[in-house]
Structure 1
Amino acid sequence: MNWLVVDKIIKGALVEDGSYGDITTEAIIDKQNLCSVDLIAKENGIIAGLDVFKRVFQILGDVEVNSFIKDGEEVNKGDIIGKVSGKAVNILTGERVALNLIQRMSGIATLTNKFVKQLEGTNTKILDTRKTTPNLRVLEKYAVKVGGGVNHRYNLSDGILIKDNHISAAGNIKEAILKVRKYSPFVRKVEVEVESLDQVKEALQAEADIIMLDNMDIYTMKKAVELINNRAIIEASGNMNINSIKEVASTGVDYISVGSLTHSVKALDISLKNLRNI
């Protein structure tokens, strides 16, 4: 992860949560008081974001976080993930920001891992998308990797993906590919989104490097894979869910992109409990 970006995210979140201080904590807790508190999993899942969690308290200062596990490890309900010790005011001030981040990242890693396990025994890999929370993409894409998934392009300047609106604007797939090849460095792969077998043929004729089969039924997808015949990398996309991806993988596609990994994930329930003065 780019820690300059991560620090900006954390500092922005701390400002959002306490623009004028934490009036409850400041009224109750003496600035010199020290305490420790347990980081506890309240449900089963895959943990991601421990270093981000720690970084919140490093920025606030005078707090130490000791983790008992590593990112990517499974936890069960009731497991103690780590211990946070130090200045009580800083622990309580940073608690919600730190938990919000690790909960969301762990939720993404947990869901990604469920998708990945569905594809065990196949050669197909799970991809994320750009359907991420604004300004949290670096964290969410990291969490996908922790869960065993693969990152698609990070942003618009990271890779070429010609979608339906680009094709409409250019006139056809061939013209769109010609334009991007003239505009972009030769080292960049060109991916094009297709919705029919005729568009698959057009993409092959234009020598696309990656062909995305968008919202195709299984029969059409199988025909598309046969047609491509290893002449391009194949990605399947469009409303993929945990119950359908095994059948999609059976068609022979190389990747399946799943927007729900990041755009509608449930956070993993994690809390800071058992505060003790020290």
Structure 2
Amino acid sequence: MDVREIIFENVKNETVKAEIKADNKGLIAGADGIKEKLENLDLELSHFVKDGEEVEKGDVVVSFTAKPTVVMEVKEIIISTLSKPSGAAFKAYEASLEASSRVKITSSAWEKMPIEVKDRFKNAIETGGISSTISKKPYVWVDNSLVKIFDGIYPALKSVTPLKEKGYQIVFQTTGEIKEIYEEVKEASEGGADILMVDTGSVEDAIKVIYCLNELNMRCHKKVGFSGSINIKDISKYASYGIDILDIKDKIIDSPPLDLKMEIIK
């Protein structure tokens, strides 16, 4: 039983105009995926935002006319679908502005989201102007598990060489757990890794990787990435260290949602 039918029994045939407005600044993400769903409902849609639109407090996101039960259904759809992705998109946008062209910003955290919302957050990240992947090219990830399976860095990298020959880039996870960082960097670089991704949470390790590459005269041929809980305000500082890629995780995906509220206009 839909309780809305009971609540609105005495006004079920009336039509009302409603607006859903932004209650803070944000960047719309996820709108394109739900417009068709709204158009299948019994309503008259007079305004609907598009993905990538910036909104300020008080801006109308959706304006429509419908019967009360449909009004409440639309409210539920809009708020549950747009709020969180739009918050992530806005934070991604802030990160892209902070980075400018000094460092590549990406956020791969969407890959660990529940499957039913993965694409929604991937779209939000890209709507915000940053990449959802470490590399534009297809890539293969060589982590500690693969290294342990093949009993060494060189054998692990050799196992993915056929993919490199097909245009894939090799991303090597540098942790200092298999060997000292200098030895990991040396073997990974000589073994064909294109990107050395520091996934320790310590930016000092990324600086150490850059130092090692310079010592090996291989810096110009390799990219260095750093992944972790990176604050947007620290992007400039990390860029000054010479890091090529910053994979910002929770600070984007777990950012505050875009607050939305509905007003009934009679």
Query: Which TM-score band applies after superposition, normalised by the shorter structure?
Result: 0.7 to 0.9
**How far is the alpha carbon of 1:247 from its aligned partner?**
1.6
- 1:18: which partner in 2? none
Which of the pair has more CA radius of gyration? 2
Change (3 A) 1:65 1:169: farther
- 1:58: which partner in 2? 39
- 2:22: which partner in 1? 41
**How far is the alpha carbon of 1:32 from its aligned partner?**
4.3
CA contact 2:88–2:254 (8 Å) conserved in 1: no
- 1:223: which partner in 2? 211
Change (3 A) 1:224 1:269: farther
The SS at the match of 1:51 is coil
1:234 corresponds to which of 224, 234, 250: 224
- 2:105: which partner in 1? 126
CA distance in 1, matches of 2:196, 2:44: 48
Q: Describe how 1:127-276 pairs up with structure 2 within 5 A.
A: 127-129=106-108, 130-152=111-133, 159-182=139-162, 186-195=166-175, 196-215=181-200, 216-218=202-204, 219-224=207-212, 226=214, 227=216, 228-261=218-251, 263-276=253-266
- 2:96: which partner in 1? 116
The SS at the match of 1:252 is coil
Change (3 A) 1:275 1:151: same
TM-score, normalising length: structure 2: 0.82
The SS at the match of 1:234 is strand
**How far is the alpha carbon of 1:224 from its aligned partner?**
4.6
Deviation track 1:149-176 (CA, whole Å, cap 9, x = no partner) reads: 111179xxx7421222222222222211
TM-score, normalising length: structure 1: 0.78
CA distance in 1, matches of 2:165, 2:117: 28
- 2:80: which partner in 1? 100
The SS at the match of 2:124 is helix
**How far is the alpha carbon of 1:82 from its aligned partner?**
3.0
CA distance in 2, matches of 1:247, 1:221: 17
* % same residue: 22
CA distance in 2, matches of 1:113, 1:249: 17
Unaligned runs of 5+ in 2: 176-180
What's the C-alpha RMSD, in Å, of the aligned pairs?
2.7
Amino acid at match of 2:4: T
**How far is the alpha carbon of 1:145 from its aligned partner?**
1.1
Deviation track 1:183-236 (CA, whole Å, cap 9, x = no partner) reads: 787232221111223211111111112221223434425415635422133322
Does structure 1 residue 28 correspond to structure 2 residue 8? yes
Aligned length: 251
